[in-house]
Structure 1
């Protein structure tokens, strides 16, 4: 009887492990402008403290090398010295749809030169705006450039408009309007959790399993303020926070769509489109007017 119970418990444990939901956290645009609620150093220290306090393993900061003034350099050093990855997000965050292949390659290589001196630098590249080339020549040209330079295409699977939530937050403060931080946190967490669960369901639909997800966030004040609340809610819903390196061991890392996406929906969206899904490749919260309406209702209570 005891043996049967032990076997049953082991089977349940194995099933739970196979169904585990895993997520890695990344921050784009560092060192992002910091002229609002926090200054740059305060933001960095708060974000590092929150990640440590909530036992978040190594995250990645995809960085823009044109922002490496004295303060920007110090901010990236703080992240690197805390054990986090510094990676390439181009020199000045261009829109690939508006540049030639040669111009974009030059931009990428300049960032490689400037960022590679940082501790914990990894040859991971995140396309700004997730735009990977609106022609076959540009798409395939950058794929070759990344391969020739030993780079990983650091795709994302979980997309959102956290950058617009930041704008709503900062603009409200500039107007002198008091913000209830508890309501702000709830709004932020709710929007991100909804989009995360949506993309996970989309992945399961088309892959048959929940992949090791990569969450796109930005290095912003609301990230520093509320990342701990987001992590707490993720764990409450059964998610395991993993290092970014682990996420890029998933088999979808090697996936390459044959389609040309003028606007890329992320790796899960690419796969869904290639599997025949034509609509709803982006979660409904990736809409500025929607977020403004929800912000007014839930945060400002208007």
Structure 2
């Protein structure tokens, strides 16, 4: 009986940790794909390869934010989006041509939002794609610009898809495509290891930022970019998320956290994630984060 009591106590000691599992909504920007692809590979091929990975992991539907300009004269891009929807995934608005609010007027930016909607309507019912993500996460370099676009989005019944977990994964997509074309297996192995090392460090740092800003664990939104490297690296990334205690969730579930009702009202030419905006607005000290291998990724397999 004494041993049974000890076992119960040990189990109870684990319960707070289990209850505190952080939800994470996984999202993808720049659909149909980001970056260049290996020779002979199409956007539709990428989607065909990632959908079974999602299904195998039992992941909830994920929102992919589209830029419809990429569909011009590109049947494979249109096919990729059709496959994405047929595979149970969702879409959101990322502007027609991925324009930067920092260098454009609110009116020009709003026109880009509107111009993206016909493609969205072909893919899903109106109420199913009213999520918006700012290209480059740039929400405005002036207070007037920031508030004008936010007011417009609200009038158009959009919800802003925020980001709290980001490590610029897109840096690996074109690098991987080049290395595949050159059949450089050693370089591909380095891309795998550098990606996971970077993701791990930034996931930890971003969680620490959430604790600094909000004083607690929050539900998170992870920003990824669907591209050439996705079928290769996503299984390892999903293993990493699970090992770190993240629980996959829909975007609605993640953003039901009160943290997403906060607005730092921060303006900059490079506003960044929701957490970065809060950190910068409050002049908080960032946790130590190792630099990304930008130069190496730009130069590899050139």
Category of TM-score, reference length = shorter chain: 0.7 to 0.9
Pair 129,62 (structure 1): closer, same or farther in 2 beyond 3 Å: same
2:290 maps to 1:288: no
Query: What is the CA deviation profile of residues 179-201 of structure 1, one whole-angstrom value per residue up to 9, with x for unaligned ones?
Result: 46554323222211211111001
Inter-partner Cα distance in structure 2 for 1:261 and 1:88:
22
Which of 201, 206, 218 in structure 1 is aligned with 2:208? Answer: 201
Inter-partner Cα distance in structure 2 for 1:146 and 1:282:
35
In the superposition, the TM-score normalised over structure 1's length comes to 0.87
Equivalent pair of 2:219/2:257 in contact (CA under 8 Å): yes
Residue number in structure 2 paired with 1:97: 102
5 Å matches for 1:73-152? 73-119=78-124, 121-152=128-159
Which of 215, 221, 228 in structure 2 is aligned with 1:214? Answer: 221
Residue number in structure 2 paired with 1:60: 63
- Structure 1: 5+ residue stretches without partners: none
- Structure 2: 5+ residue stretches without partners: none
In the superposition, the TM-score normalised over structure 2's length comes to 0.87
Inter-partner Cα distance in structure 2 for 1:22 and 1:111:
30
- TM-fit CA distance, 1:4: 6.3
2:253 maps to 1:246: yes
Which of 43, 46, 50 in structure 2 is aligned with 1:47? Answer: 50
| Matched residue count | 294
What secondary structure sits across from 1:219 in the alignment? strand
- TM-fit CA distance, 1:59: 1.3
Inter-partner Cα distance in structure 1 for 2:292 and 2:88:
31
Q: CA RMSD in A?
A: 2.6
Residue number in structure 2 paired with 1:227: 234
Inter-partner Cα distance in structure 2 for 1:25 and 1:241:
7
